[in-house]
Amino acid sequence: MDNKNDNTKAKIAWFTKYWYLMLFVVGVLAFIITIIAVGSNGEKVNNNVEPANANALTFYLPLTDATITKNYNDKALQYNATLNQWEVHKAIDFGVAAGADVCAVCSGKVVDIYNTYLDGTVVVIEHANNLKTKYASLDGELNVAIGDNVTGGQVIGRVANSAKGEASEGAHLHFEMLENDKKIDPSAYLNLENK
Ligand SMILES: [Zn+2]
């Protein structure tokens, strides 16, 4: 017997013994590749859907049955009878009876609560899309604390006459809206005709 013949016979013997093992390894590899392919495809689909959902914010009014006593105007000066001065009012004042419930206009997180002589008790809520809302002249007893997550329409506190800088207006909510920390006209987001 020559060596070549011996070699071939040894190869055939090896295949006869281990062919099922090789088939098993090929099967496992195909399975892993399929899982990876499906997984990455699923991620791509999610990435396409998420940004559209993040932009879809729903807005509510901070008060029901309120009257706008002072509107937003970033150019014309408006007279502040309390401080006896003309000033730019980058906010909307909602006149309403003291004790009326104030609601978060959109879902978000309470990022600040403070009290100053001019603004009274203030709650600041951060929303998606770099938006913030600020509720001033509130009663000191609030329904929320810093760090709380709130939903749109949720009661956060009550109207008072705590803003001494606008005391002559009586009980009212001084409401501000900020986009990228710059004050904007809230009517761009709120449907004020339904107030
Ligand atoms: Zn005001």
For residues 120 and 146, membership in a common domain is answered with: yes
Q: What is the mean pLDDT of the chain?
A: 86
Q: What pLDDT does residue 34 have? A: 66
Same domain, 31 and 94: no
Q: What is the mean pLDDT of residues 28-53?
A: 57
Q: What is the pLDDT of residues 64-114, one digit of tens each?
A: 889 999 999 988 888 898 888 898 999 999 999 999 999 999 999 999 999
The residue segments making up the domain with residue 82 are: 67-194
Q: Which of 55, 76, 94 is the last residue of a domain?
A: 55
User: Ligand 1 centre from 182 Cα, in Å?
Assistant: 16
pLDDT band at 176 (very low <50, low <70, confident <90, very high): very high
> Is residue 15 located within the same domain as residue 75?
no
Distance 162 CA to ligand 1 centre (A): 12
25 and 83 both lie in a single domain = no
Q: What is the 3-state secondary structure (H, E, C) of the chain?
A: CCHHHHHHHHHHHHHHHHHHHHHHHHHHHHHHHHHHHHHHHHHHHHHHHHHHHHHCCCCCCCCCCCEEEECCEEEEEEEECCCCEEEEECCEEEECCCCCEEECCCCEEEEEEEEECCCEEEEEEECCCCEEEEEEEECCCCCCCCCCEECCCCEEEEECCCCHHHHHHCCEEEEEEEECCEEECHHHCCCHHHC
85 and 173 belong to one structural domain: yes
CA of 120 from ligand 1 middle (Å) equals 11
More confident position, 119 or 85 = 119
Q: Is residue 49 part of a domain?
A: yes
Of 32, 55, 78, the position where a domain reaches its end is 55
Neighbours of ion ligand 1 (CB under 5 A): 91, 93, 174
**pLDDT at residue 10 is higher than 90:** no
Of 24-28, 47-51, 111-115, 134-138, give the lowest mean pLDDT range: 47-51
Among 18, 33, 55, the domain-final residue is 55
Please indicate whether residue 55 or residue 56 has the higher confidence score (pLDDT): 56
Judge if 49 and 137 occupy the same domain: no
| Distance of CA 44 from the midpoint of ligand 1 (Å) | 47
pLDDT, tens digit, for every residue of 125-162? 999 999 999 999 999 999 999 999 999 999 999 999 99
How many domains does the chain contain in total? Answer: 2
